[in-house]
Structure 1
């Protein structure tokens, strides 16, 4: 009798846990006023993302004063972020309003989620490539023509797209991203979710997050540290060695330009981590805590990541206005 009660209690606890997961992934009921405010704000973010990236693409290519490597990857980054504004943001807005999973089916959700992962990852990898280019331009000036030429540009571009296509379409469409998730949990989430939610197994979440964010993030930090050290060394050198008054004014201008470069890179890096770190932290932790993170919180950190596609062109336009992007 005690064993039967014990088994019954275990079953009830398991069912309760599963019910909690289902509840966490159900879309909250919103009043019409709340929907207008929330999705109206998201539409504004979407429009700004599109407008800023189009402005950046036009400005870069109408005034070709930048180095080819810089111009190519800035244009490519803006194009990727533009696609986020044209495809991913509208998809998520429509999904939240009209439940696209039930309208078009799970395969359409998997396709659009693959595009989402591909574009978001490509945007992050573009930032790391541009950080590397700024590091070479400032710290390894003499080797710039060797390390940032047409050949290396093509190699970086091919590696970027091969990598993002593999970790998005190559894994999500066949369903390998769900490896490690208990079938009952998976069924519960998909049956209760009123949208095309991202549900990743622990293995895929860890591997894709390392490739998409943590490894590029470490590279970006390392390159930025080297840039700051270089700028500081140059500043000290000019203060200690150059004592001629005629040259002092010219050197001071160059020093201030270098400091602006360093400060702008710090702002870009800070914005990058502010936008994407919460999402990838949640993405990794979710599987380890049995997918108990509420849908609302995941929705917020996801859109915070999308906002980086609006911040990228805005910050680069400000950067260009201060003449800090590499010039030919």
Structure 2
């Protein structure tokens, strides 16, 4: 192997190992920490599971393919690999959509949230996400609905998923209809809906923060009067109860705001990582004008997203950071 191949393999292996360990850490933290073991966080477990699958079953074989410069695992396994890639990327974006909707419901209607979102409903939604992701990936790819023609030989397969238009190695050609349909279902439509939901969520979160600040100012300005009144009325127990309830409510809304900020960062990073790939995926199916190197860089930029979420949780969410430290310390 050349020094360039060794360097490339080392860099890509780092991303793969980081993605596997980081997302397994997220899953263990949620399942073992009482504060994180909430119904809505099961969507985060599903997202981490999708990212773990990307690292194990997609990125690993893509690394061998890119380092060696050719596919070595046969045409049938190539179709399975491509199906797994489409399924996991679709599951990731649909899980993110579910997470944004869950946070919106939590901050929009906190009194009804627990009755709407329970373990049973969340597991049903997660199952539906994975079923839809599998149908949009394995079914058309295994039935060759995604191609324009069948390869002339069985010794050559595509260099990258969906990069089927290189006639020099008899690669499959991507059907433009499938390119548009799969990209729309897997990325563009959920992203538009998710962005609209997050915009509304962010509005509610800001309103809550303003209410908390106004409540704190009001409490501070009325503190002497409250103290005198309670001394005269001898109603310390009631005051303590009201103060505790107000503090709990403020902490609850502050936690919602922090969760909204973390979700916004996760969504932003996801869009930055995957938008270039899905754009060239559609463009390349029509004009056959995207260079292999460009397509490869954008593909790995999308893969790298699988390593980012655990880092984001650890930096911007204290609950996850504390849970990570407890898990690592065991």
For this structure pair, what is the TM-score category when the shorter chain's length is used for normalisation?
0.7 to 0.9
Deviation for aligned residue 1:320: 3.7
Say yes or no: does 1:244 pair with 2:219.
yes
- Quote the Cα distance in structure 2 between the aligned partners of 1:188 and 1:107: 14
Q: How many residues are aligned here?
A: 287
Say yes or no: does 1:321 pair with 2:296.
no
Q: Does the CA contact (< 8 Å) of 1:69 and 1:148 recur in 2?
A: yes
Q: Does the CA contact (< 8 Å) of 1:257 and 1:324 recur in 2?
A: no
Distance 1:176 1:34, change over 3 A: same
| Residue of structure 2 aligned with 1:262, choices 260, 263, 274 | 260
| Residue of structure 1 aligned with 2:50, choices 80, 87, 93 | 80
Say yes or no: does 1:171 pair with 2:135.
no
The normalised TM-score by structure 2 is 0.77
| Residue of structure 1 aligned with 2:308, choices 311, 320, 324 | 311
Q: Which residue of 2 aligns with 1:17?
A: none
**Superposed counterparts of 1:205-244, under 5 Å:** 205-240=179-214, 243-244=218-219
- Quote the Cα distance in structure 2 between the aligned partners of 1:152 and 1:258: 21
Q: Which residue of 1 aligns with 2:159?
A: 195
Q: Does the CA contact (< 8 Å) of 2:75 and 2:156 recur in 1?
A: no
Q: Does the CA contact (< 8 Å) of 1:84 and 1:116 recur in 2?
A: yes
- Quote the Cα distance in structure 2 between the aligned partners of 1:111 and 1:59: 31
- Quote the Cα distance in structure 1 between the aligned partners of 2:320 and 2:250: 16
Any stretches of 5+ residues in structure 1 without a counterpart?
A: 1-30
The normalised TM-score by structure 1 is 0.78
Q: Does the CA contact (< 8 Å) of 1:81 and 1:119 recur in 2?
A: yes
Say yes or no: does 1:297 pair with 2:271.
no
Q: Which residue of 2 aligns with 1:154?
A: 123
Deviation per CA, 1:112-156, whole angstroms, max 9, x where unpaired? Answer: 111111112112211111121111112221221233123321331
**Superposed counterparts of 1:121-160, under 5 Å:** 121-160=90-129
Q: Which residue of 2 aligns with 1:24?
A: none
Q: Which residue of 2 aligns with 1:7?
A: none
Q: Which residue of 1 aligns with 2:236?
A: none
| Residue of structure 1 aligned with 2:39, choices 39, 50, 69 | 69
Q: Which residue of 2 aligns with 1:97?
A: 67
Any stretches of 5+ residues in structure 2 without a counterpart?
A: 165-173, 224-242, 323-330
Q: Does the CA contact (< 8 Å) of 2:75 and 2:154 recur in 1?
A: no
Q: Does the CA contact (< 8 Å) of 1:260 and 1:324 recur in 2?
A: no
Q: Does the CA contact (< 8 Å) of 2:315 and 2:321 recur in 1?
A: no
3-state SS of the aligned residue for 2:146? helix
- Quote the Cα distance in structure 1 between the aligned partners of 2:286 and 2:192: 23
